[in-house]
């Protein structure tokens, strides 16, 4: 069962009941028939990289060698499709002489009648696939003979298939003799949508029985989607959906995308940040030779690149000698800086309840100096996903975005019709997915990017509306394509976690069929004709999971998915151009291993259809192999992701009474799937932004990174807007009424402190609630205040964005060389170094002119943070980058950014105290200083020879604030306001502004020498 205490903790629901309980355990045993025949299919290494099957592993013992890895037996998990495999002489029978053993699934006793249609649909889909498998083997089926049979009634009724047993036969869940499509009505807090385990012979991997479970949480998910649809339709009061928030404008913007404020930025002709890194390298270029090109054509790009790693490693700013980021952070542990960083909101994000003692575990999870809640959230998410992966569990959090996508499409329909449509779509997708697990298939998280094997309708729609098919960066999706629901056809496998439920609308995809043909029939698909497409591209498409890249003499070249279609046309997807061949017909590569890219039949060489498979081992490491994503390339996936993030804020941050939702679960759910994903998106891009300038001229590098067809233009757009989203998060204003006010430092800013008068209103379509709030107009919570969580504050998102933006750790897989690429540190500061420094200066000096959000025609706008950031804006809005946000930015920035082997951020931020032993010796002409009027300490920084730094910006602001406090005239007023002075003396407000800012300066002066020297001191 799944009632053990650890499950309650793993799922991250801190209010789940995890106490003692009474359990009834029933065991089921099945006698092994000594005459049962089955030939197991051995796992053959790379075969599982082609199609993902679960395996049964069995260690073998030798009385001389003991137990060794090389003696391990590993078999694919499969049902046994044949009653006999051998004749009386022990010879394998031809398949046309065998008797079929159909796969039989029963519904359970609780299975509702109104979901019987779902069971029939799923059974018919898998039956069609298994029929293809036995037909391919030469078995001669009767016209109506099924390979996959559903028993739709429990108990069995008259007229049910004979293999279901006699009338009245009523299989019980847990009986190992039977396979089930089962509905589980019992409530559970951890919210399963589906589960797909199987019982396997431990010696052969034969599946004895399998279970596709679906749970009542699918009904809840369907209803939540209906609520969204009613809200968008206008049939639900927009002022009552969330207590105290009017969602009218939000609903209008969701249903009319033209009304929403854009949060993404186009790719410029002369992209500023690309030009910067294209011109960065000034050493001798590595020359690409004819031999290098030939090597790539014969052995692939990876073999070529590994040969150059050592030289690249020596030249790179990303040198592999990892710095101790965690060691730097630990130098601040148990200091007053740690106290400043930890507050109630941060502690609550780790599960701590305010008012109770703070435990060591709370500190460990909350403090970035001990790991931080970003790392804590990633670990919790990893544990949850591994726990779910090992048990084939499908959790609601894996489909949140999917629920939202369908809401847009069904707006305007009748309530009951919408509910039934959504419910049936959800149950069909989940049941098909779980039965897929039960018959042996692992997850395939590349199903949404396996564009070669999308459904035919996808390409037919694109050809019909687009003519020449181009990347979406050049050819945005049209309203006609949206109306024809093109993304319904944009996947190859039901074993993915879809980014939208309607993406599973077709059920089983081409990958799923191909996997069954391989695992159960030993067949693979090849193209009869590849048109004008070079077959090497198809080989590389498979080898590099759709990311084809080659280094040629005249420049690097990628292959966009549209190239495959434009070179092959209908040949790419037409069934008539695909044929099945035996696995044994596949050729061998240059090392003598099976090639998996070409097959030779009757002397003719064919290219294998390149299916893309990616398992949980590579999950979410880059911009592909992602869960809950939609789109065929990096541009499409990022655009759809950002659209959802900007639109569906209300579903992430407002629990509306849902059990188990808290700041803790919010962090656990969102850091990995949003912020860490945006960080990982940049990893490979940042690596190549460093490597390519070592091979090619600046002009060639710039062309590659901006060309969407033969280069990485789409990736550049995605990384550009990922960076923008992270910075926008840090600079996001609060929801509220704003008025223009003059600040004590002389700047003008729209702020929420305008005395309560009506002003410019920022609602949730533009701003975000900064602080977490507990109140519910419908309930009185009193002592149980935590039950009335209204919304989770965006303050936590700001910290998560800083964590992701500053993180330089990478995890490049499939590399094992003396200069291990996994040791390289890659962060956004490597690609956007100038921008990070300008943000640093503006954020720390609170000078937002060219980086802050601003109002334009009443709409909140953000600058393009990947540009030069040299254009000041009017009507600036307070970005709510408060003291702790500035402190998190500095602590993580100074600890992590230098790990990318550029010390600029630390140099830019540096402040020291005059007279201390670690103060540097700087000529007076380059010094900028401030004397603390309360302590007498003199804080210094350098003006960097005329270039403004963050340190200088802070010192100059402090001097300005000090001057403001001394500017009381005879009437007790300053030049800027009427209330800064009281009786000729500076007011408490003016003093506090300076005192608070001095706390920040003091903290920077405390941090810097510890990170540089590990030499603690206290000013």
Helix, strand counts (H, E) of the chain: 33, 31
893 pLDDT more than 60 = yes
Q: Is 913 helix (H, G, I), strand (E, B) or coil?
A: strand
User: How far is the C-alpha of 470 from the C-alpha of 472, rounded, in Å?
Assistant: 6
Q: Is 535 helix (H, G, I), strand (E, B) or coil?
A: helix
Confidence of residue 706 (pLDDT cuts 50, 70, 90): very high
Least confident span in 480-494, 802-816, 954-968: 802-816
Pairing of strands 66-67, 773-774: unpaired
Do the beta carbons of residue 119 and residue 107 sit within 8 Å? yes
Tell me phi and psi for residue 487, to 5 degrees.
-75, -10
Do the beta carbons of residue 572 and residue 452 sit within 8 Å? yes
* Half-sphere exposure in the Cβ direction for 388 (13 Å, CA): 24
Mean pLDDT of 736-744: 88
How does DSSP classify residue 768? Answer: B
Report the candidate in 188, 195, 196 with the shortest Cα–Cα distance to residue 217. 188
Tell me phi and psi for residue 61, to 5 degrees.
-105, 135
Confidence of residue 419 (pLDDT cuts 50, 70, 90): confident
pLDDT tens across 206-218, in order?
999 999 999 988 8
Pairing of strands 594-601, 586-588: antiparallel
pLDDT tens across 914-965, in order?
988 778 888 888 899 999 999 999 999 988 656 678 999 999 999 988 887 7
| Residue tagged 């005459």 (tokens) | 35
Mean pLDDT of 41-60: 83
800 pLDDT more than 60 = yes
Mean pLDDT of 788-792: 89
Mean pLDDT of 516-540: 96
360 pLDDT more than 60 = yes
Q: Which has more pLDDT, 108 or 143? A: 108
Least confident span in 86-95, 132-141, 945-954: 945-954
**pLDDT for residue 819:** 44
Q: How far is CA 540 from CA 300, 546, 555, 881, in A?
A: 7, 8, 18, 46
CA 678, 684, 685, 687 dihedral sign is positive
**pLDDT for residue 400:** 38
Maximum mean pLDDT: which of 92-101, 240-249, 978-987:
92-101
Least confident span in 150-154, 785-789, 921-925: 785-789
Report the candidate in 679, 773, 676, 786 with the shortest Cα–Cα distance to residue 734. 773
**pLDDT for residue 4:** 36
Maximum mean pLDDT: which of 112-126, 175-189, 625-639, 682-696:
112-126
780 pLDDT more than 60 = yes
**pLDDT for residue 820:** 47
984 pLDDT more than 70 = no
What lies within 8 Å, CB to CB, of 326 at 6+ separation is 371
What lies within 8 Å, CB to CB, of 524 at 6+ separation is 50, 514, 517, 518, 580, 581, 583, 586, 599, 608, 609
Number of neighbouring beta carbons within 10 Å of residue 645: 18
How does DSSP classify residue 280? Answer: -
Q: Is 601 helix (H, G, I), strand (E, B) or coil?
A: strand
User: How far is the C-alpha of 274 from the C-alpha of 704, rounded, in Å?
Assistant: 10
Report the candidate in 504, 512, 430 with the shortest Cα–Cα distance to residue 133. 512
Mean pLDDT (the chain, rounded): 84
User: How far is the C-alpha of 775 from the C-alpha of 477, rounded, in Å?
Assistant: 42
Q: Which has more pLDDT, 500 or 446? A: 446
Do the beta carbons of residue 975 and residue 292 sit within 8 Å? no
User: How far is the C-alpha of 891 from the C-alpha of 403, rounded, in Å?
Assistant: 38
How does DSSP classify residue 355? Answer: T
pLDDT tens across 577-596, in order?
999 999 999 998 766 677 88
**pLDDT for residue 972:** 44
257 pLDDT more than 70 = no
Do the beta carbons of residue 525 and residue 576 sit within 8 Å? no
Query: Could you tell me the two tokens for 236?
Result: 């639900």
How does DSSP classify residue 78? Answer: E
Do the beta carbons of residue 825 and residue 899 sit within 8 Å? yes
**pLDDT for residue 627:** 79
Which H helix or E strand runs over 223?
A: helix 217-233
Per DSSP (E only), the strands in 553-620 are 555-558, 578-582, 586-588, 594-601, 604-608
**pLDDT for residue 327:** 74
* Half-sphere exposure in the Cβ direction for 610 (13 Å, CA): 26
Which H helix or E strand runs over 124?
A: helix 116-136
pLDDT tens across 967-981, in order?
665 554 444 444 456
Confidence of residue 650 (pLDDT cuts 50, 70, 90): confident
Least confident span in 123-132, 386-395, 541-550: 386-395
User: How far is the C-alpha of 83 from the C-alpha of 663, rounded, in Å?
Assistant: 56
380 pLDDT more than 90 = no
What lies within 8 Å, CB to CB, of 359 at 6+ separation is 352
Mean pLDDT of 518-545: 95
Buried b / exposed e over 96-126, threshold 16 CB at 10 Å, is eebebbbbbbbbbeebeeebeebbebbbebb
897 pLDDT more than 80 = yes
Whole-number percent of the chain with pLDDT over 70: 84
**pLDDT for residue 414:** 78
User: How far is the C-alpha of 616 from the C-alpha of 710, rounded, in Å?
Assistant: 30
Q: Which has more pLDDT, 250 or 431? A: 431
DSSP per residue, 438-492: HTTB---TTTTT-GGGS-HHHHHHHHHHHSS---TTTSPPPHHHHHTTGGGG--S
Report the candidate in 402, 573, 435 with the shortest Cα–Cα distance to residue 504. 402
Confidence of residue 408 (pLDDT cuts 50, 70, 90): low
pLDDT tens across 290-323, in order?
999 999 998 888 888 877 776 666 665 565 444 5
Bridge partners of residue 556, in order along the sequence = 551
Do the beta carbons of residue 870 and residue 850 sit within 8 Å? yes
Do the beta carbons of residue 448 and residue 490 sit within 8 Å? yes
Query: Could you tell me the two tokens for 289?
Result: 């030779």
Q: Which has more pLDDT, 268 or 745? A: 268
**pLDDT for residue 636:** 93
Gyration radius of the chain over CA positions: 31
For the chain, the first-to-last Cα distance in angstroms comes to 58
Question: HEC states along 601-664?
Answer: ECCEEEEECCCCCCCHHHCCCCCCCCCCECCCCHHHHHHHHHHHHHHCHHHHHCCCCCCCCCHH
Do the beta carbons of residue 929 and residue 955 sit within 8 Å? yes
User: How far is the C-alpha of 489 from the C-alpha of 453, rounded, in Å?
Assistant: 10
Confidence of residue 109 (pLDDT cuts 50, 70, 90): very high
818 pLDDT more than 70 = no
- What size, in residues, is the chain? 1019
Do the beta carbons of residue 1001 and residue 910 sit within 8 Å? no
Do the beta carbons of residue 305 and residue 688 sit within 8 Å? no
What lies within 8 Å, CB to CB, of 17 at 6+ separation is 8, 189
**pLDDT for residue 501:** 52
868 pLDDT more than 70 = yes
Report the candidate in 642, 643, 647, 649 with the shortest Cα–Cα distance to residue 768. 649
User: How far is the C-alpha of 1015 from the C-alpha of 1004, rounded, in Å?
Assistant: 14
Do the beta carbons of residue 498 and residue 394 sit within 8 Å? no
The CA dihedral of 940, 942, 943, 948, to the nearest 10 degrees, is -90
| Residue tagged 């949730």 (tokens) | 764
Query: Could you tell me the two tokens for 689?
Result: 């932004």
User: How far is the C-alpha of 887 from the C-alpha of 844, rounded, in Å?
Assistant: 9
687 pLDDT more than 80 = yes
User: How far is the C-alpha of 106 from the C-alpha of 894, rounded, in Å?
Assistant: 60
831 pLDDT more than 90 = yes
Q: How far is CA 355 from the centre of its chain?
A: 35
Would the pTM of this model clear 0.85, i.e. be above it? yes
**pLDDT for residue 85:** 96
531 pLDDT more than 60 = yes
**pLDDT for residue 878:** 96
């Amino acid at each position: 069962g799944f009632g053990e205490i650890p499950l309650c903790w793993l799922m991250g629901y801190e209010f789940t009941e995890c106490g003692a309980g009474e359990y009834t355990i029933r065991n089921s045993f099945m006698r092994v028939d000594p005459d049962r025949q089955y030939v197991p299919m051995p796992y053959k290494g790379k075969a599982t990289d082609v199609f993902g099957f679960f395996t049964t592993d069995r260690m073998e013992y030798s009385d001389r060698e003991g137990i060794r890895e090389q003696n391990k037996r590993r078999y694919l998990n499969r049902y046994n499709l044949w009653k006999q495999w051998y004749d009386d002489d022990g010879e394998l029978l031809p398949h046309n002489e065998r008797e079929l053993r159909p796969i039989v699934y029963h519904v359970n006793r609780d299975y509702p009648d109104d979901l019987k249609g779902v069971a029939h649909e799923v059974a018919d889909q898998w039956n069609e696939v298994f029929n293809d498998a036995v037909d391919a083997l030469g078995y001669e089926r009767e016209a109506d003979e099924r390979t996959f049979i559903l028993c739709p009634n429990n108990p069995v009724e008259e007229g049910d298939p004979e293999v279901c047993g006699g009338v009245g036969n009523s299989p019980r869940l847990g009986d190992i003799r039977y396979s089930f499509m089962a509905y589980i009505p019992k409530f559970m807090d951890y919210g399963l949508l589906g589960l797909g385990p199987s019982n396997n012979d431990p010696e052969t991997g034969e599946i004895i029985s399998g279970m596709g479970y679906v749970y009542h949480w699918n009904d809840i998910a369907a209803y939540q989607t209906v609520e969204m649809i009613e809200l968008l339709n206008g049939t639900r009061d927009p002022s009552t959906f969330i207590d105290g928030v009017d969602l009218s404008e939000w609903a209008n913007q969701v249903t009319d995308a033209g009304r929403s404020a854009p949060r993404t930025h186009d790719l410029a002709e002369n992209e500023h940040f690309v030009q910067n890194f294209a011109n960065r390298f000034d050493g001798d270029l590595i020359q690409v030779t004819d031999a290098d090109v030939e090597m790539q054509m014969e052995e692939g790009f990876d073999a070529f690149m590994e040969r150059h790693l050592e030289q690249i490693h020596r030249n790179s700013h990303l040198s592999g000698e990892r710095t101790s980021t965690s060691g730097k952070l630990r130098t601040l542990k148990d200091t007053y800086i740690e106290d400043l960083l930890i507050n109630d909101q941060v502690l609550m994000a780790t599960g701590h309840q305010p008012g109770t003692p703070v435990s060591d575990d709370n500190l460990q999870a909350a403090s970035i100096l001990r790991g931080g809640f970003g790392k804590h959230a990633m670990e919790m998410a990893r544990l949850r996903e591994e726990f779910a992966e090992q048990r084939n569990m499908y959790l609601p959090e894996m489909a949140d975005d999917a629920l939202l996508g369908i809401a847009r499409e069904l707006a305007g329909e009748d309530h009951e019709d919408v509910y039934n449509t959504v419910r049936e779509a959800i149950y069909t997708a989940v049941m098909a997915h779980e039965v897929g697990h039960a018959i042996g298939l692992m997850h395939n998280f590349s199903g949404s990017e396996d564009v070669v094997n999308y459904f035919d309708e996808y390409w037919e729609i694109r050809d019909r509306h687009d003519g020449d098919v181009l990347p979406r960066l050049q050819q945005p999706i049209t309203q006609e394509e949206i109306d024809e629901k093109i993304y319904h056809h944009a996947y190859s496998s039901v074993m993915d976690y879809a980014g939208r439920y309607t993406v599973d609308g077709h059920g089983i995809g081409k990958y799923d069929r191909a996997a069954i043909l391989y695992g159960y029939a030993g067949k693979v698909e090849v193209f009869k004709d590849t048109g004008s497409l070079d077959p090497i591209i198809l080989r590389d498409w498979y080898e590099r999971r759709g990311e084809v890249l080659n280094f040629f003499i005249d420049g690097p070249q990628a292959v966009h998915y549209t190239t495959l279609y434009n070179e092959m046309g209908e040949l790419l997807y037409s069934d008539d151009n695909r044929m099945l061949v035996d696995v044994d017909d596949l050729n061998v590569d240059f090392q003598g291993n099976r090639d998996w890219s070409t097959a030779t039949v009757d002397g003719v060489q064919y290219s294998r259809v390149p299916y893309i498979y990616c398992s949980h081992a590579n999950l979410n490491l880059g911009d592909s192999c992602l869960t809950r994503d939609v789109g065929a390339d990096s541009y499409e996936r990022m655009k759809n992701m950002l659209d959802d993030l900007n639109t569906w804020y209300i579903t992430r941050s407002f629990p509306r009474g849902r059990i188990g939702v808290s700041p803790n679960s919010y962090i656990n759910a969102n850091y990995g799937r949003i912020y860490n994903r945006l960080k990982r998106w940049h990893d490979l891009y940042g690596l190549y932004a460093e490597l390519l300038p070592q091979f090619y001229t600046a002009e060639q590098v710039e062309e590659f990174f901006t060309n969407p067809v033969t280069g990485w233009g789409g990736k550049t757009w995605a990384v550009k807007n990922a960076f923008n989203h992270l910075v926008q998060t840090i600079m996001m204003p609060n929801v509220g009424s704003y008025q223009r006010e003059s600040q004590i430092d002389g700047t003008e800013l729209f702020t929420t402190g305008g005395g309560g008068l009506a002003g410019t209103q920022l609602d949730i379509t533009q701003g975000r609630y900064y602080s977490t709030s507990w109140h519910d107009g419908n309930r009185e919570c009193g002592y149980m205040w935590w039950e009335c969580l209204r919304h989770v504050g965006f303050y936590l998102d700001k910290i998560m964005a800083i964590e992701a933006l500053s993180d330089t750790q990478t995890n490049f897989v499939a590399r094992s060389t003396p200069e291990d690429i996994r040791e390289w540190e890659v962060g956004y500061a490597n690609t956007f170094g100038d921008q990070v420094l300008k943000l640093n200066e503006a954020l720390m000096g609170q000078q937002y002119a060219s980086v802050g959000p601003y109002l334009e025609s009443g709409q909140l706008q953000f600058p393009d943070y990947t540009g030069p950031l040299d254009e000041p804006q009017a009507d600036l809005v307070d970005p709510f980058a408060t003291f702790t946000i500035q402190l998190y930015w500095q602590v993580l920035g100074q600890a992590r950014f230098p790990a990318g082997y550029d010390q600029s951020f630390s140099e830019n931020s540096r402040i020291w105290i005059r007279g201390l032993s670690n103060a540097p010796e700087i000529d007076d002409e380059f010094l900028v200083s401030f004397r603390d009027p309360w302590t007498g300490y003199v804080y210094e920084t350098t003006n960097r020879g005329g270039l403004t730094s963050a340190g200088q910006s802070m010192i100059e602001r402090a001097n300005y604030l000090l001057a403001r406090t001394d500017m009381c005239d005879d009437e007790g007023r300053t030049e800027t306001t009427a209330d800064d002075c009281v009786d000729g003396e500076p007011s408490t407000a003016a003093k506090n502004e300076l005192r608070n800012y001095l706390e920040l300066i003091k903290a920077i002066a405390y941090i810097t020498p510890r990170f540089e020297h590990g030499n603690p001191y206290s000013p």
